[in-house]
Amino acid sequence: MKIKNLLIFSLLFNLIFIGICAYIFRDKLIQKIVSMKGDSKIVMFGNSLTAQGKWVELLGRTDVLNSGFAGLNTYHFLGLLNDNVIERHPEICFVEAGINDITVGVSAEKIQENYTTILKTIQSNNIIPIVTLTFYEQNDPVSKAEVDRLNDFLIEYCQKHNIKYINLNPLISDSTGLKAEFAVDKTHLNEKGYKIWATEIDRILKAEKI
């Protein structure tokens, strides 16, 4: 009887442990399934800000693939674009990049050149590109000035080439940069910030009927 009780306890413990792990890593598990399924309607392409988003949960759909890569800049995304966006054959791709370039001192002209190539390549493959304008960091006026320079370029480019863009800075930042209430550190968003981002993405998806 004692052994039987121990076995039952062990089984229950293992089931609870598996359940907890499944809950904690649910987004990664879902993303693995999405990737295995093949083509997704939506691809999120960007740096760590994109990578850390739990997009399946945030958007409430399972046809969204997180192709976010922490620590990379626009030059790296050029090399990743084909395998992680083009060959996935999505209907729409949300692109977010630039802050890492600014942090390591890539010239404004080079960032603009790389970004232009990314957007042209996406459009030429009959995929709808949506630009998420680069986010401000906290209390960094030098970075903020460079972000404004990049975003001014992106807004002009998007307007000229009929590309929609998302500008979250008025919603999550003030004159000093990213607000603390939306941040986990100087650069990255918390859950509250991601919900605002997801709302803007959902608005565009509905407008595009995707």
For the segment 30-46, what is each residue's pLDDT rounded down to a tens digit? Answer: 544 455 555 689 999 99
pLDDT of residue 108 exceeding 50: yes
Mean pLDDT taken over the chain? 88
pTM: 0.83
Residue 123: band (very low, low, confident or very high) from pLDDT cuts 50, 70, 90: very high
Residue 17: band (very low, low, confident or very high) from pLDDT cuts 50, 70, 90: very low
DSSP 179: -
- Can you name the residues that pair with 166 across neighbouring β-strands? 132
**Residue 83: which region, alpha, beta or left (left: phi > 0; alpha: psi -120 to 50)?**
alpha
pLDDT of residue 133 exceeding 90: yes
Q: How far is Cα of residue 79 from the mean position of the Cα atoms in its chain?
A: 17
- Please say whether the beta carbons of 96 and 47 come within 8 A: yes
**Mean pLDDT, residues 98-116:** 98
- Please say whether the beta carbons of 178 and 136 come within 8 A: yes
- Please say whether the beta carbons of 148 and 175 come within 8 A: no
pLDDT of residue 140 exceeding 70: yes
Taking alpha carbons only, the member of 58, 146, 44 closest to residue 95 is: 44
pLDDT of residue 6 exceeding 60: no
CA–CA separation, 122 and 132 (whole Å): 15
pLDDT of residue 184: 96
In the chain, % helix, strand, coil (3-state, to 5) comes to 60, 15, 25
Which carries the bigger pLDDT value, residue 135 or residue 20?
Answer: 135
CA–CA separation, 59 and 64 (whole Å): 8
Helix-helix angle 108-124:141-160, to 10 degrees:
30
CA–CA separation, 71 and 78 (whole Å): 14
CA–CA separation, 199 and 60 (whole Å): 11
CATH topology of domain 38-207: Rossmann fold (3.40.50)
